[in-house]
Chain A
């Protein structure tokens, strides 16, 4: 058997080969957890259903709960998944296997990134839809009145395009922070990143509060000029900044991974 070139696809194939069973198990657990949450919500929501409430003729009583669950899942599970991206480096044996594989560091990084970032979001979305279809079919067969029973479909996002962009960009930024955290702390990356992020947010909030109170009490002309951003401009500014921040985090994580050693020097 002779091959002289390996690439991203080979590494990705190897990654799925070695961990495919684990990823399948995680997907099944995800479907199970979502199904359990949805069942619990369905029992309480449909029990409290009031047929006189007109809104339910077009909206399922579960809508609000499902939207929140969907986004919370994307954000929380996305961050947990992202913090596992460098899990093979936790043990010396795993790190040696990973680092000594004859492929570029970029290919190895991208293969894990593809699985834990875009593939995770796609699989999460598919799992959510599978659970929703299951809920719909079960309730359809159990309930007599189907007027308020709807499939979520694309409405699962629960907001307009701008809102989806903003939430998605912020969740991607959060994910990228955890990827970076995982590169810096292969062990307990999730905990350390969450603590660091909490610390940074706390410091920034205090600084912003102090700055804001300073501006209110100041006589500075620019503040009095009345310059403000409208909501749309503000929203897109946040989206662009979040995407740029995401790119920076992924780049930093790559360079950290490229230099990683089996004994951490820093």
Chain B
């Protein structure tokens, strides 16, 4: 669906590229988690995919069309929920009516269902009077109701209350099918760890890891350990209240739940291990 080929991008007056020779293929039917430290280029990558920035070199094609051309047909296939966004000061119903006209696959039933999930259905709010979190719920409801094949989300859970985060996870899971891909960039890994099918970890200028969660679970074991020998031999260890969380190669083919925080730390601090294990 989305092909990113040899992508390089640098900001003006910055000698080093933010993204250097990145190649990824995004297929429909998966939720992709985009992780990385601050300044690693996560938001930049989302903007590049949306055609909001021009690559220095390389290409980004969605269904074979360069997204930078910003053709209306391509824009109908992408919806980005940025960290900062603006909503007009109009009523919810008129907002939905006006914007939905631009998206051929928009579903009013879905919109109502999402608003209901966020406990925002029933009233015709004036958007200007809402809090940032409420605006985000409405914007994300619209985003998901447009049914675009590619959905990009930048820190979607920032500003959401605890029930809002739970609702977000619920409806992301409910929206997934074989026709769409969702890419979520976030630091709040615990908000999305159960949702992800694939993980992409970026570090300064480089991709450290692109893998499915299944692949990660097959190759690595994440566990809490109190065994000193096991802790010493681990690829990565992190003290925890009940012992030490460790990552080690999955030698006995028993799959454990992937701990994204540990995976992220491993990818950043020991990239050579990740390269070795995942053949990058």
Complex CA gap A229/B52 in Å reads 51
Kindly state the separation between the CA atoms of A105 and B75 in the bound complex, as whole angstroms: 11
Whether B54 lies near A3 (C-beta < 8 A) is no
A246 to B72 alpha-carbon distance, docked (Å): 28
Please determine whether A18 and B52 come into contact, CB atoms closer than 8 angstroms. Answer: no
Q: Which of A6, A17, A263 contacts B53 (CB 8 A)?
A: A263
Write out the residue numbers on chain A whose beta carbons fall within 8 Å of the beta carbon of B105.
2
Q: Does B173 contact A (CB under 8 A)?
A: no
Query: Which residues of A sit under 8 angstroms from B78, Cβ to Cβ?
Result: 100
Among B22-30, B82-90, B252-260, the stretch that binds chain A is B82-90
Q: Are B88 and A6 in contact (CB under 8 A)?
A: no
B172 to chain A, nearest CB (A): 20
Q: Could you say which of B96-104, B156-164, B206-214, B224-232 contacts chain A?
A: B96-104
- Tell me, in angstroms, the Cα distance from A154 to B89 when the chains sit together: 38
**A94 proximity list for chain B (CB < 8 A):** 86
Q: Are A1 and B52 in contact (CB under 8 A)?
A: no
Interface string of B8-23 (1 = CB under 8 A from A): 0001100000000000
| Distance to closest chain B CB from A239 (angstroms) | 37
Q: Are A93 and B108 in contact, CB atoms less than 8 angstroms apart?
A: no
CB contact between B101 and one of A3, A99, A261 (< 8 Å): that residue: A3
Which of A10, A21, A259, A261 is the most central at the interface, judged by chain B CB atoms within 10 Å of its CB? A261
In the complex, A172→B226 CA distance in Å?
Answer: 78
Which A residues are in CB contact (< 8 Å) with B90?
17-18
Interface-central residue, B53, B86, B99, B103, by most chain A CB under 10 Å:
B86
The reply to whether the CB of B80 lies closer than 8 angstroms to some CB of chain A is: yes
Beta-carbon contact of B84 and A93 below 8 Å = yes
Closest to A99 in B: B52
The answer to whether B102 and A101 touch across the interface, beta carbons within 8 angstroms, is yes
Cβ–Cβ < 8 Å partners of A14 in chain B: 98-99, 101-102
Bound complex: CA A262 to CA B68 (Å): 12
A42 / chain B contacts, CB cutoff of 8 Å: none
A61 CB, nearest partner CB in chain B, Å: 44
Docked complex Cα distance between A21 and B54 (Å): 35
B82 in contact with A18 (CB, 8 Å): no
Bound together, the chains give a CA A28 to CA B201 distance in angstroms of: 53
* B residues less than 8 Å from A3 (CB atoms): 101-102, 104
Any A CB within 8 A of the CB of B270? no
Whether the pair B11, A263 counts as a contact (CB closer than 8 A) is yes
Q: Given A1-B108, A3-B104, does the pair A265, B52 have CB atoms closer than 8 Å?
A: no
Whole-angstrom distance from the CB of A159 to the nearest CB of chain B?
Answer: 41
The chain A residue sitting closest to B98, CB to CB, is A17
Q: How far is the CA of A95 from the CA of B51 in the complex (A)?
A: 12
CB-nearest residue of chain A relative to B146?
Answer: A102
B171 adjacent to chain A (CB < 8 Å): no
A97 within 8 A of B: yes
Q: Which of A96, A103, A266 is the one whose CB lies under 8 Å from B102? A: A103
A99 partner, pick from B70, B76, B79, B94, beta carbons under 8 A: B70
Let me know if A100 and B80 touch, CB within 8 A.
yes
A57 to chain B, nearest CB (A): 52
Q: List residues of B (32-80) whose CB comes within 8 Å of A's CBs.
A: 47, 50-54, 70-73, 75-76, 78-80
- Asked whether B106 is an interface residue with its Cβ less than 8 Å from the other chain, the reply is yes
State whether A93 and B53 are in contact (beta carbons under 8 Å apart), knowing that A262-B47, A264-B12 are contacts in the complex: no
Q: Is A144 an interface residue (CB 8 A)?
A: no
Contacts of A221 in B (CB 8 A): none
Q: Please, what's the 1-or-0 string for A72-107, where 1 marks a CB less than 8 Å from any CB in chain B?
A: 000000000000000000011111110111111100
Known: A97-B86, A261-B53. A102 touches B72 (CB 8 A): yes
* Residues of B that sit less than 8 Å from A by CB: 11-12, 47, 50-54, 70-73, 75-76, 78-80, 82, 84-86, 88-90, 94, 98-108
A interface, CB within 8 angstroms of B: 1-4, 6, 10, 13-14, 17-19, 21, 91-97, 99-105, 259, 261-266
- 9 shortest interchain CB distances as A-B pairs: A18-B88, A102-B75, A93-B84, A102-B76, A93-B86, A93-B85, A102-B102, A4-B104, A262-B52
Query: What 6 additional pairs, Cβ within 8 angstroms, besides A2-B105, A97-B86, A100-B75?
Result: A6-B102, A19-B88, A99-B51, A102-B73, A104-B72, A261-B53
